Amino acid sequence: MMRRYLTIAVIAFAAALAGVFLGQWLMPKAPPPGAELHAVLHERLDLDSDQERALERLEARFAVRRRAFEDEMRAENRALAAAIAAEHGDGPRVAAAVDASHRTMGALQKATIAHIFAMRALLRPDQAAAFDAAVTRALTEAHQ
């Protein structure tokens, strides 16, 4: 009897795995978040050399900040997993871990918006209009 359950479990797992691979193969991958914005900045706005250098500095600084936030979120996910394992329900440790994660996600979002405005500040008015349109598209089309 146990052998039958094990066989069914293995078949179900293999079917699920096949479904994941088939879905990835059939469905086109979405561009990473910010890809269009990056393309607009670096390929369509005809930045001068001073703008390029300033943009590179901004992007390098923000990459460090973003990695720090991502590291913190991974640590908070581990804390959430530990809280779930310990409480086996929606207890105070789970709630605190979720709240900590939300605070970090919010801080990352605020830092990202500040970074977008810092990049925009480098642009001429004609460049800023194209940049603003790309930001709007990124925010409104990313989740559709």
Contacts 24+ apart (CB under 8 A), 65-74: 65/111, 65/115, 66/108, 66/111, 66/112, 69/104, 69/107, 69/108, 69/111, 70/108, 72/104, 73/101, 73/104, 73/105, 73/108
Taking CA atoms, 23 is separated from 13, 32, 127, 142, 143, in Å, by 15, 18, 39, 20, 19
pLDDT of 24: 65
22 or 75, which is more confident: 75
In whole numbers, what is the pLDDT of the chain averaged over residues? Answer: 84
Residue of higher predicted confidence among 102 and 34:
102
What is the rounded CA–CA span in Å between residue 73 and residue 100?
9
Q: What pLDDT band is residue 4 in, cutting at 50, 70 and 90?
A: confident
List the one residue out of 32, 31, 33, 38 whose CA is nearest residue 119.
38
| Domain boundary assignment for the chain | 1-30, 32-141
Identify how many contiguous H helices and E strands the chain contains and give both numbers: 5, 0
> What are the φ/ψ torsions at residue 128 (nearest 5 degrees)?
-60, -35
Residue 27, pLDDT score: 67
pLDDT category, 33, cuts 50, 70, 90?
A: low
| pLDDT at 103 (0 to 100) | 93
Q: What average pLDDT does range 8-20 have in this prediction?
A: 69
Q: pLDDT tens digit string along 74-125? A: 999 999 999 989 988 888 998 999 999 999 999 999 999 999 999 999 999 9
Digit-coded pLDDT (tens) for 41-60: 778 888 999 999 999 999 99
- What whole-number percentage of the chain has pLDDT above 90? 47
Fold of 32-141: Four Helix Bundle (Hemerythrin (Met), subunit A) (1.20.120)
